[in-house]
Amino acid sequence: MTENPSHLTGRRAPGVALRDVSMRFGDKTVLTHVDLDVGAGQFVALVGPSGAGKSTLLRLINGSHRPTGGTLSVLGVDPATCGRRSLQRLRTRVGFVFQQFGLVGRLSAMENVLMGALGSLRMPRYGIAGYPRGLRERAVANLERVGLVDQRYQRCDTLSGGQQQRVAIARTLMQEAELVLADEPVASLDPNASVSVLQTLKKLSAEDGFTVICSLHQVELALQVSDRIVAVRDGSFILDAATVDTTEAQVRAVYEQAKRV
């Protein structure tokens, strides 16, 4: 891995730090001794061929997997060794955005967004009226920020894919997530919706200062929206550089070399 330039390590600690992290599933090694420092507020695009370990890396960061070697620090907490309650607390600070949106389709956009606040409430809530007024106002404001205030009472399964992903992003705003992990968030969207959803995420991250680590297969999009590109292949980071210093050819090469193997 190339050295991580100091200007890329962010504005304020703590972000995400991986030290000598390895991950094996049985006898299959997916990540081999990787180091990564992501400073608060950065937008990192994670690229690499299918099976390279991008989702595994994101799952390590949110504590769904424990590394088989090395240590992690995520917002100042090690998700692999902290207790169950600390992990729960950490997860209220980390938003996850999936390719398949992860929304409850039969509920409205507003209800799905309000669910982002459940971590801060003691009791489960049912229906919009069950949430405190302040949260309902914030939910409307967050839907406005992602351009969906007019659709707030529409069932999520009747929204377009791009709109559904915007709802998922508004849900992480509700959570006031300090870190958003996005696993191919635009893989099932058309090119226009993809660029628009990612630009919204980028804008919100710049405005609110949250960190984004986003796996993407679309090279042009990664170059357009990220501050930094990390490419993973064969268990290692083969590229880690500021996006302004990275060419399209460099990123495409990450995939080309994999095709030849």
Ligand X SMILES: Nc1ncnc2c1ncn2[C@@H]1O[C@H](COP(=O)(O)OP(=O)(O)OP(=O)(O)O)[C@@H](O)[C@H]1O
**Binding residue (CB under 6 A) for ligand X from 10, 41, 48, 162:** 48
CA angle 184, 257, 194 (to 5 degrees): 25
Other C-beta atoms closer than 10 Å to the C-beta of 214 total: 27
Residue 125, SS3 per DSSP: coil
Minimum distance from CB of 214 to ligand X (Å)? 12
Contact pick of 4, 42, 55, 211 for ligand X (by CB under 6 A): 55
Torsion angle in degrees (nearest 10) through CA of 158, 205, 180, 137 = -50
Residue 166 phi/psi, 5-degree rounding, is: -65, -35
Among the listed ranges 20-28, 46-54, 77-85, 145-153, the one in contact with Mg ion (CB under 5 A) is 46-54
Of 216, 95, 109, whose CA–CA distance to 152 is shortest?
109
Q: In this chain, which stretch among 48-56, 89-97, 123-131, 157-165 interacts with Mg ion, using CB under 5 A?
A: 48-56
How far does Cα 115 stand from its chain's mean position? 18
Is 127 among the residues that bind ligand X (CB under 6 A)? Answer: no
Q: Does 235 participate in binding ligand X (rule CB under 6 A)?
A: no
Q: Which of 10, 15, 39, 53 is in the footprint of ligand X by CB under 6 A? A: 53
For 132-197, the DSSP string reads -HHHHHHHHHHHHHTT-GGGTTSBGGGS-HHHHHHHHHHHHHHTT-SEEEEESTTTTS-HHHHHHH
Work out the end-to-end distance of the chain between its first and last CA atoms, rounded to an integer number of angstroms.
20
Span from 9-17, 43-51, 71-79, 245-253 in contact with ligand X (CB under 6 A): 43-51
Can residue 62 be called a binding residue for Mg ion (CB under 5 A)? no
Of 4, 55, 164, 211, the one binding Mg ion by CB under 5 A: 55
Phi, psi of 121 (to 5 degrees): -110, 150
- Out of 5, 13, 20, 51, the only residue in the binding site for ligand X (CB under 6 A) is 51
**For ligand X, which is the closer residue by CB, 55 or 163?**
55
Q: Are 191 and 213 in contact (CB under 8 A)?
A: no
Chosen from Mg ion, ligand X, none, partner binding at 238 (C-beta under 5 to 8 Å by type): none
Stretch that binds ligand X, among 50-58, 85-93, 165-173, 248-256 (CB under 6 A): 50-58
Q: Which option in Mg ion, ligand X, none does residue 48 bind, with CB closer than 5 to 8 A by kind? A: ligand X
CA distances from 142 to 109, 172, 216, 217 (A): 11, 9, 24, 28
Provide, rounded to whole angstroms, the least separation between the CB of residue 188 and ligand X. 13
Q: What is the contact surface with Mg ion in residues (CB under 5 A)?
A: 54-55
Q: What is the contact surface with ligand X in residues (CB under 6 A)?
A: 25, 28, 30, 48, 50-56
